[in-house]
Chain A
Amino acid sequence: MKLSFATANPQKLIVAIPWLWLALFFVMPFIFILKISVSEPQLAMPPYQDWIREFEDGLLTITLNFGNYLLLLEDDLYVSALLGSATIAGISTLLCLLIGYPMAYAIALAPSHWRMPLLMLIILPFWTSFLLRVYAWIGILKDNGLLNQLLMSIGLIDQPLQILHTPVAVYIGVVYSYLPFLVLPLYATLVRLDNTLLEAAADLGARPLRQFMTVTLPQSVPGMVAGSMLVFIPVMGEFVIPDLLGGPDTLMVGKLMWTEFFNNKDWPVASSLAAVLLMLLIIPFVFMRHFEQRTAEEEK
């Protein structure tokens, strides 16, 4: 075995090392999620060493327990958390598209020597701590925060608005944190667009808005989908933003998983939640891969 490894051709080794790493530390763990999600909750009490208890007395006794999944269906809490996450992720993705599309388009239309600095400005916030940027919004949105002070000083409101710990704050936080993920792939698509089609449309007398709607917008669909999935999928499992900016009524599955795991120490239920979320996310992921590959092929 060792010999065959040493004499193996380097090409195989180059593929094998990252493949094995990801198989072991990225794919294998999901098998354990599935495994723990069907185990008995009482065995899951700390200490965690007591986890694998199916092989007692040398006998292989497998007792699958789908009770955790039934609990997810029976208890409204879990279903509403999944729906809550989907709603927040969906609406935030749309908001990111609405804000991000004009930005990506403006950068793509800008003179070429301007594009790099403009893009850098989009990426730069991403390099500073995510946690600290979410924290910044607490200072802005809280009752005596900057936004309320501003609104009161210009006389728009008399009483401070409660924004922090409401869904609005979660939307602001999500859109703020994930906007760059949408702008970048969208820009990459828009900047490569075939301008001859646009010129043809203009020559034939189409107005700017019509040119945009019939030529630019349809051509940018792959970038829009890829970017949207880069927002939608991770937001579905977001924990930090709903925890810091949301209130008790902001139900999101990531936060619920955290509570089940760290506060209730219920590893099986947390695992079955993770398994359900994982299954649900496969669909948008396949979607994303499909459109990414399409743009990659167009590039060639």
Chain B
Amino acid sequence: MRAMFMRYPVLICLLLAGYAFLYLPIFSLIIYSFNESRLVTVWGGFSTKWYGELLQNGPLIDAALLSLKIAAMNATLAIVLGTLAALALVRFRKSRGHASLGIMVTAPLVMPEIIIGLSLLLLFVAMEDLTGWPAGRGQTTILIAHATFSMAYVTVIVQSRLAHMDRSLEEAALDLGARPLRVFFTITLPMIAPALAAGWLLAFTLSMDDLVIASFVSGPGSTTLPMVVYSSVRLGVSPQINALATLFIAVVSLAVLIASVILYRQQKKDN
């Protein structure tokens, strides 16, 4: 035990250095979003004017609204598909297609986005040629593309929850004569609800964040927020983007804080 302690100081320093590396860039984004000066790295006094300009930026707001809409639809679709896949993988090990489903669900997690984007575009173009659907590219094609890779992440989250779940309640309900579908909705679903919530949020974030895949499968008139940010960032640093980043970080931190409080209370109640 003492030996473990001896190693501690060095490890703790390395851990802290790691956290500094992860967080310093984020803090620099926040600090310089309140900078009066247009030159992002020269401090010209405190100001919130970039937030005002951000709200006046029409194309950016439109893109943000489109992204929010697609992200919400994507997250909902992804938790349905992901939960089905997780159920199939955890509960029905002997069914046909189990092994291939396992591979198909893991692959999108590591597949380079650029390959997913290009290959889906080619599929959509070929499908349109053969069947007339999807007519052109836009929201629908972005949604399908996002749901395909988001469901893989949802599956991983729900899968681990299902695998560690106590099944005695389900068995009791089945013994008492409840039908499987009823057992699923009244017992299984509430028990995996935290994983579903986490999966929904992650799928939402992944969709809000995707530049590469959306660039391939979007059409004219369906420009998402990352696409607007990207074209602006390519021209150089801009304090407006810093302001946008700060808003992002604020929303995410708030969501995580609320989630932790809920989880903490639930744990206290369980004990």
User: Which of A8-16, A56-64, A76-84 is the interface stretch?
Assistant: A8-16
Q: In the complex the two chains form, is A133's CB within 8 Å of B119's CB?
A: no
Among A10, A25, A176, A212, which residue has its beta carbon within 8 angstroms of that of B123?
A25
Contact A136 B18 (CB under 8 A): no
A144 touches B115 (CB 8 A): no
Binds B, one of A44-52, A67-75, A151-159, A217-225: A44-52
Please judge, given known A-B contacts A25-B148, A254-B114, whether A122 and B22 are in contact too, CB under 8 Å: yes
Is B191 positioned at the interface, with any CB of A under 8 Å from its CB? no
Chain A residues whose C-beta falls within 8 Å of the C-beta of B249 in the assembled complex: 128
Segment 102-126 of B: residues with Cβ below 8 Å from A: 103-116, 118-120, 122-123, 125-126
Interface residue? A145 (CB, 8 A): yes
Residue of A whose beta carbon sits closest to that of B22? A125
Least Cβ–Cβ distance between A204 and chain B, in angstroms: 12
Overall SS of chain B's interface? helix
Interchain CA distance A254-B112 in the complex, whole Å: 8
Whether the pair B112, A130 counts as a contact (CB closer than 8 A) is: no
Selected from A99, A100, A208, A274, the residue in CB contact (under 8 A) with B7 is A208
Contact with B84, one of A14, A28, A131 (Cβ below 8 angstroms): A14
B101 to A19, Cβ gap below 8 A? Answer: yes
A274 touches which one: B118, B123, B245 (CB < 8 A)? Answer: B118
**Interface contact A292-B106, CB-CB below 8 Å:** yes
A residues 15-31 in Cβ contact with B at 8 Å:
15-19, 21-23, 25-30
Cα A124 to Cα B260 in complex, Å, equals 12
Contacts of B112 in A (CB 8 A): 233-234, 236-238, 254, 277, 281
The verdict on A131 contacting B229 (CB below 8 Å), with A109-B11, A274-B114, A274-B118 known, is yes
* CB pair A32 B114 closer than 8 Å: no
A140 touches B28 (CB 8 A): yes
Instruction: Please tell me the size bucket of the interface on A.
Output: 35 or more
Q: Interface on chain A toward B: helix, strand, loop, or mixed SS?
A: helix
> B106 to A26, Cβ gap below 8 A?
no
With A131-B209, A239-B113 as known contacts, state yes or no: A125 contacts B126, CB within 8 Å.
no
Asked if B120 and A25 sit within 8 Å, CB to CB, the answer is yes
B92 touches A11 (CB 8 A): yes
Q: Is A211 an interface residue (CB 8 A)?
A: yes
**Contact indicator per residue, chain B 212-227, by CB within 8 Å of chain A (1) or not (0):** 1001100000000010
How distant is A176 from chain B, measured CB to nearest CB, in Å? 7
Q: A30 CA to B180 CA in the complex, in Å?
A: 37
Contact A22 B25 (CB under 8 A): no
Query: What mask results when residues 122 to 149 of chain A are scored 1 for a CB within 8 Å of chain B, else 0?
Result: 1011011111110111111010111001
**B111 A234 Cβ-Cβ under 8 A:** yes
Question: Nearest Cβ distance between residue B261 and chain A, in whole angstroms?
Answer: 13
The residue on A at minimum CB distance from B123 is A29
Provide the residues of chain A in CB contact with B106, threshold 8 Å. 288-289, 292
Judging by beta carbons under 8 Å apart, are B28 and A139 in contact? yes
The answer to whether B244 touches A132 (Cβ under 8 A) is: yes
Q: Which residues of A contact B209 (CB under 8 A)?
A: 129-131
A277-293 vs B, Cβ < 8 Å mask (1 yes, 0 no): 11001000100110010
> In this complex, which of B32, B119, B123, B244 has the most chain A Cβ atoms within 10 angstroms of its Cβ?
B119
Known A-B contacts A25-B144, A136-B26, A202-B3; A106 and B12 likewise in contact (beta carbons under 8 Å): yes
B213 to chain A, nearest CB (A): 11
Which residues on B sit within 8 Å (CB–CB) of A35?
A: 122
* B262 beta carbon closer than 8 Å to chain A: no
> B29 touching A15 by the CB < 8 A rule?
no
- Interface pair A15/B15, CB less than 8 Å apart: no
Q: Which of B45-53, B55-63, B168-176, B230-238 contacts A (4 or more CB under 8 A)?
A: B230-238
Query: Is there a chain B Cβ closer than 8 Å to A170's Cβ?
Result: no
Contact (Cβ within 8 A) A132 B248:
yes
A244 on the B face (CB < 8 A): yes
B119–A274 CB distance below 8 A: yes
| Cross-chain pairs A/B with CB under 8 angstroms, 18 sampled | A15-B97, A22-B85, A26-B116, A27-B104, A99-B18, A103-B15, A106-B11, A127-B256, A129-B208, A131-B226, A132-B245, A136-B25, A139-B28, A146-B28, A239-B113, A240-B211, A274-B114, A281-B110
7 other A-B residue contacts (CB within 8 Å) besides A14-B92, A18-B84, A33-B115: A21-B81, A30-B119, A102-B11, A132-B245, A135-B233, A179-B21, A238-B112
